[in-house]
Amino acid sequence: MSNDGGMAAYLFHQGTNTYAYEYLGASRVRSGEGYDYVFRTWAPNADEVSLVSDFTGWDSPVRMERVTERGVYELIFHSERDLDGSAYKYLIRRGGRSLYKGDPYARYCRTGLDGASILFTSTYRFSDESWYPARRKAILGENGRFCPSPISIYEVHAASFARREDGGFLSYRELCDLLLPYVKSMGFTHVEFLPLAEYPYDGSWGYQVCGFYAPTSRFGDPDGLRYLVDTFHRNGVGVILDWVPAHFPKDEWGLYEFDGAPLYEYQGKDRQESRSWGTRFFDLGREEVQSFLISNALYFFREFHVDGLRVDAVASMLYLDYDREPDEWIPNANGTNINLEAVAFFRKLNTAVFAENPDALMIAEESTSFSSITKPVHEGGLGFNFKWNMGFANDLFDYVATDPYFRAGKHSALNFPLMYAFTENYILPISHDEVVHGKKSLIDKCCGGYEEKFSTARALLLLQMTYPGKKMIFMGCEFAQFREWDFEHSLEWFMLDYPAHRAFREYVASLLRLYLERPELYELDFTPDGFEWILPDESEKNLVAYRRKSISGKALTVVVSFSGTEQTVRIPCTKDGLSPLFVSVETGALADGAIRIGRIRNRYYANITVPPLSGMILTEEANQTIVIKENENVL
């Protein structure tokens, strides 16, 4: 069964084997009365590679044979019994050193510092066929219009969404059974999990991955994750995973200097290591690493039916000088700071993903102004179809943290995002990164006393839900948890015993449900046709007003005020006037007479009294008696 000259080996070394996990790693083949287990790993710098395991003896290594010139080693092990559940590692010797390494392609790993690989054969059978036609229609749309559908994402850290009474982790199945009805009741269309591939250190939140092909065993076996995705799909909710192709930690059993020398990581010190994270960057120009990473992305689409990947730390991959001093990096062949190998990698990755999954979500977490992130590869872009708008979030959080008296000087936080809103396909994120490390929780970011914080947060979320772009909220923000997110403990669900927090969650749920019901708020997110400014520059009033439009031409008017005092504005309208569809004030309704309709010659206006720290969504669909006063002095 040696694959010395086989096509799989050839493609792997060429960087084009997108099923590398079927060639490398451990696979089981029925053989007579028993089983043949085929182990393969890539270790070109090794002097010798052996298998050690529960079934061969940890102190009795079984040597593997080098079967390709570029360093693939292979062993065929016959067993009379099924070895599923057994642990194994590779013993790699080089220059007198002995390294015990986990299998880079292992489907299952032991959590923790040991990191032993575990043989695992899935027995799960998906039953989510009905999900895919709806997904395709939602993302690809019709008549060439991309994603004319609502996307509202609930970002989740599986280890701290909820815990058992003893503080232990929920299993994938327990998490599914708790999280799914909650997400459905709130009105989210998708969940996005912080990384679920195996990671040794809880404090990394999953972003320091050692077992890229192994869903973390903290929550059960890989079929538990399959059950979760399948169940979500059968209930109409999509699943996105965070994916980390930028870097990996230096745990001894992981990819770090896998065969006794830099292999998966860059060779040169100018690119090799992240100072801030203490991790190694993947060598994106190496063909075998490309096969490893692109196969890994497709593995989660094929084997776990995920709907998308949020690709972490894209900026760290794109820039040669990322987190480096001026004398610590070398320009590319063009003399610039762009990592040309990373650019080529992203184009290759996204081309491969969309070739199989044209309706996938490939979301870039990219924090700079690098252009054409979400442009197709054939148009010179990187080929993602979504990008987090991190500037929108950071500027807005800084704005609401400022006392209303001084907000006029920061008004660009409200109107500048529309200067670039249609240059990429944006998701507007309120993410985990913004509610930790002293940045405060969402509610606590807001300036003012207790009531003012709640009012400001309600207005902020109304702004997010009505600006162009798809939506994302991190868990806990929806019920205004005051404490920063703590990865070691459950969310503070007891806060819902307090009326203000219970009411805030119901407000968010009502806002999300309205978002799902009104095409004006999502059909034209990526074109200026869906947005029109009414009042962009009311900096002294800390206020903006705008319209959102649907494909059919219907429109909603939105007014959001971050002023600490009542404001009055004049909004052009039709003779039918404007009626409140949704308001953020705690009572859920505007005061009598807050909207008065006037006419000057043949032009109609709504004279609106806007409460402090509030937002409102208005419609021209008549639902109240409107009295028009001729030539009223509307201001």
Choose between 566 and 29: higher pLDDT: 566
Task: Supply 39's token pair.
Answer: 């182990």
Answer yes or no: is pLDDT of 631 > 80. Answer: no
pLDDT tens digits, one per residue of 320-331? 999 999 999 999
pTM (2 d.p.) = 0.95
Task: Supply 406's token pair.
Answer: 């001084």
**Helix or strand or coil: residue 292?**
helix
1 pLDDT band, cuts 50/70/90, is: very low
**Other C-beta atoms lying within 10 Å of the C-beta of residue 431:** 21
Question: What is the per-residue pLDDT for 622?
Answer: 60
Answer yes or no: is pLDDT of 632 > 80. Answer: no
Dihedral through CA 218, CA 224, CA 227, CA 228, nearest 10? Answer: 0
**449 within 8 A of 455, measured Cβ to Cβ:** no
CA quadruple 271, 276, 280, 285: dihedral positive or negative?
Answer: negative
4 pLDDT band, cuts 50/70/90, is: very low
Question: b/e for 353-383, b at 16 or more Cβ within 10 A?
Answer: bbeebebbbbbbbbbeebeebbbbbeeebbb
624 pLDDT band, cuts 50/70/90, is: very low
44 pLDDT band, cuts 50/70/90, is: very high
Q: Point out the residues that are catalytic.
A: 312, 365
Q: What percent of the chain has pLDDT over 70?
A: 97
| Sequence ranges of the domains in the chain | 7-118, 156-521, 528-630
Q: How far is CA 1 from CA 9, 14, 37, 78, in A?
A: 12, 21, 11, 12
Rounded mean pLDDT of 154-166? 97
pLDDT tens digits, one per residue of 497-531? 999 999 999 999 999 999 999 999 999 999 999 99
CATH H superfamily, domain 528-630: Golgi alpha-mannosidase II (2.60.40.1180)
Rounded mean pLDDT of 241-250? 98
CATH topology classification for 156-521: TIM Barrel (3.20.20)
Q: How far is CA 284 from CA 9, 184, 247, 260, 339, in A?
A: 19, 39, 10, 19, 9
CATH H superfamily, domain 7-118: Immunoglobulins (2.60.40.10)
**Helix or strand or coil: residue 471?**
strand
pLDDT tens digits, one per residue of 567-601? 999 999 988 889 999 999 988 888 888 999 988 88
pLDDT tens digits, one per residue of 348-402? 999 999 999 999 999 999 999 999 999 999 999 999 999 999 999 999 999 999 9
pLDDT tens digits, one per residue of 417-466? 999 999 999 999 999 999 999 999 999 999 999 999 999 999 999 999 99
Torsion region of 372: left, alpha or beta (phi above 0 gives left; psi -120 to 50 gives alpha): left
Element (H, E) at 609: strand 603-610
> Closest Cα to residue 491, out of 190, 159, 154, 155?
159
Strands 87-94 and 117-118: antiparallel
Residue 200 DSSP label: S
DSSP H helical ranges for 467-519: 499-517
**Other C-beta atoms lying within 10 Å of the C-beta of residue 591:** 11
Mean confidence (pLDDT) of the chain: 94
Task: Supply 549's token pair.
Answer: 């439009």
pLDDT tens digits, one per residue of 222-240? 999 999 999 999 999 999 9
Residue type for 552, please? S
143 pLDDT band, cuts 50/70/90, is: confident
Answer yes or no: is pLDDT of 623 > 80. Answer: no
**524 within 8 A of 469, measured Cβ to Cβ:** no
Question: What is the per-residue pLDDT for 625?
Answer: 38
Q: Say yes or no: do domains 7-118 and 528-630 share a fold.
A: yes
Q: What percent of the chain has pLDDT over 90?
A: 91
- Residue 601, class by beta-carbon neighbours within 10 Å (0-12 exposed, 13-18 middle, 19+ buried)? exposed
Task: Supply 421's token pair.
Answer: 């809103």
> Closest Cα to residue 67, out of 120, 129, 8, 119?
8
Rg over CA atoms, the chain: 27
Question: b/e for 619-635, b at 16 or more Cβ within 10 A?
Answer: bbeeeeebeeeeeeebe
